[in-house]
Amino acid sequence: MEKRFLQFIFLILGGILIWNLWHPFWRLDLNESVDPSSEETIIFEINKGSSAKTIAKNLDKEDLIVNKNSFLRTVKTEELDQSLRYGRFLLSPSMSLRDVVTILTTEGTGEMAVTIVEGWTVDEIDAKLFDLGLIAEGELRQCTFNCEFDYEFLDGNFGLEGYLFPDTYFIDSSTFNAEGFIDLMLSNFDKKFPQEMRDATKANGRTINDTIIVASMIEREVRTEKDIPIVGGIIWKRLDNDWALGIDATLLYVQDDNELTAEDLAEESPYNTRINTGLTPSAISNPGLASLEGAVYPEDSDYWFYLTTLDTGEVIYGVTNDDHNNNKEKYLQ
C-alpha cells in the first residue's frame, strides 16, 4: 500500500514537472500579460551574447512575462533565437508575451537611454544632449531650422518647436547625430498624433500648427489631468473671441533668466500674450500626449479665466474678470 502511494506521489510530481517544462498549452500565454492595468515602464537590458534562456530568466525575474517556458517555446518554434537583440528596451508588465517577443526581436536599441521630458524646449533638449557629450552646443537647435524632414504634418513650418515628442529614446552614442535624433522624435510624433486626432483638428476648424502651439501653452500652464482639457477650452475660447491670452509662459519662453519684470510685461514682443491677441509665432515647448489631447479635445466651460497657485499648483477658475481679480488677491498674494 505504501509503495503504491509513493508511486502515485511520484507520478503526480512527474506530471507537474512535465507540465512546467513542456506546458502543452503554451500558446495561450502569448496574449497574456502579468498585469494588464499596469502603467509602469521598465528599462530592460540584454547584454551582448545573452542566451534566450538567460533572457527568459531575467524577464521572469522582472515580472515582465507570464511564463518563461512559454517565452522560450515561442522563440524556438518561430526560429527567433538569432533575432533576439541586445541593448536596452522599454517594457511594461501590461505587455503581452507576444508584445515582449516582438519588441526584443524587432526594435532597434542602443547602449544609452535618453529621456526627453514633457514641456522641454528645443534649447533644453539641445543642452541635455550637449551635457551627455552627444552634440556640439547649439547643434540640435541649428538643425531644427536648417535640416530638411519630410513629414506632412510639418507643412513648411520654420523651426520644429512643439514637434519633438517627449519620450525615452535608446541611442548608440558612437553613431549619434542631431539630424537622426530629430527624425526619431518627429517619427514618434507622427505615431502619437494619429489620423484620428488630425481629423478632429480639421473638424474643429484648426490647423495642426495652431493646435501644437496651444498644446505647448497647456503643457507649460497646467499638469493635472482633469484641468488640461478645461484650460485648453479656455485658451481656444479666448482666441476665438479675440481676447489676449494673458499667458506669462509665452513671454518666459524668450527670457534668459526665467523671470518677468514690469518692463518685460510691457515689452512689444510677439510672444507677449498680455498685450497681443492671437497665437505666438511658434510653440513654446514640446508637449506630451495629454496636452496634445487637451488641445484637440478641449472641454467647454463657463470659465474665461484661470490661475495656478504658487504652492500646490492647483488651478483656480473664474467666470468674470472680478472673479479672476479676487482669485489673484486670495491665491497669489
The tens digit of pLDDT for each residue in 206-221 reads 999 999 999 999 999 9
167 & 119 share domain: yes
- For residue 82, the domain's CATH number is 3.30.1490.480
Residue located via cell numbers 538643425: 143
Residue type, 250: T
Residue 309 is assigned to a structural domain of this protein: no
Q: How far apart are CA 65 and CA 279, in angstroms?
A: 47
Same domain? 233 vs 250: yes
User: In this structure, are 148 and 76 located in the same domain?
Assistant: no
- Reported residue count of the chain is 333
* Shared-domain flag, residues 291 and 249: yes
Is 119 a domain residue? yes
| pLDDT of the residue at 83 | 84
**Is it the case that residue 21 has pLDDT exceeding 70?**
no
What does pTM read for this prediction? 0.75
Cα 36 to Cα 31: distance, rounded to the nearest angstrom: 11
Using only the alpha carbons of the chain, give its radius of gyration. Answer: 26
**Range(s) of the domain holding residue 96:** 23-106
Residue found under cell 551635457: 131
Asked whether the beta carbons of 186 and 149 are under 8 A apart, the reply is: yes
Burial class (CB in 10 A: 0-12, 13-18, 19+), 16: exposed
Co-location of 96 and 116 in the same domain: no
Same domain, 185 and 209: no
Q: Is 223 domain-assigned?
A: yes
pLDDT digits (tens, 9 = 90+) for 296-316: 999 999 999 999 987 788 999
As given in the structure block, the three cell numbers for residue 169 are: 529614446
Estimate to the nearest angstrom the gap between the alpha carbon of 242 and the chain centroid. Answer: 32
**Listed residues 106, 139, 163: the one ending a domain:** 106
48, 80, 106 — which closes off a domain? 106
Task: Summarize pLDDT for 127-148 with one digit per residue, the tens.
Answer: 999 998 999 999 999 999 999 9
First to last CA, the chain: 87
Residues 285-295: b if buried by 16+ CB within 10 A, e if exposed:
bbbbebbbbbb
pLDDT for 19 beyond 50? no
Higher pLDDT, 7 or 48: 48
If you average pLDDT over residues 166-189, what whole number do you get?
Answer: 92
267-297 pLDDT, tens digit per residue, is 889 999 999 999 999 999 999 999 999 999 9
- Per-residue model confidence (pLDDT) at position 253: 93
Identify the helix (H) or strand (E) that includes residue 45: strand 42-46
CB 186 within 8 A of CB 131: no
Helix (H, G, I), strand (E, B) or coil at 1: coil
Joined grid coordinates for residue 300: 467647454
- Nearby residues of 20 by Cβ (< 8 Å), 6 or more positions away: 69
d(CA 318, CA 307): 9
User: Is position 4 within any domain?
Assistant: no
Helix, strand or coil for residue 301?
A: coil
Q: What is the mean pLDDT of the chain?
A: 88
**Number of domains composing the chain:** 3
Q: Are residues 153 and 208 in the same domain?
A: no
Domain end (from 106, 130, 161)? 106
Kind and range of the H or E run holding 143: helix 139-146
Backbone angles phi, psi at 321, to 5 degrees: -65, -35
For 245-257, the pLDDT digits (tens) are 999 999 999 887 7
